[in-house]
Amino acid sequence: MLKRVLQEMSTGNVHSRADLARRLDVSEGLLAQMMEDLGRKGYLKPISSALECNSGCCGSFRACTACACGESIVRQGWALTEKGLNAAKPDRQ
């Protein structure tokens, strides 16, 4: 199951933890535990990104780190490491 997490993430088509949990047919809680485990083993690395402003002064849903009002939301996520990318490759036979 851990390899499936890496394989799904390697497609670049995962947009949220909820999305990935649905694809794998597991709860978000179980997925969070699996991702923590993959992080400890060096297959994933934590990342953070700034999202749209709380007040909406940015207008659209584009990412901003310093808008006019100075507010932003920071989201924690995970990214594949080189080790994770290699592990996500299909097994050779």
3-state secondary structure of 33: helix
Model pLDDT, residue 64: 44
pLDDT at 62 (0 to 100): 42
Digit-coded pLDDT (tens) for 29-87: 999 999 999 999 999 988 765 554 555 544 444 444 444 554 444 456 788 899 999 99
pLDDT of residue 75: 53
Domains and CATH numbers, the chain: 2-88 (1.10.10.10)
Q: What's the alpha-carbon Rg for the chain, to the nearest Å? A: 16
CA distance 50 to 72: 6
Cβ-count burial of 20 within 10 angstroms (0-12 exposed, 13-18 middle, 19+ buried)? buried
Rounded to two decimals, the pTM is: 0.68
| Sequence-distant contacts of 69-73: CB under 8 A, at least 24 apart | none
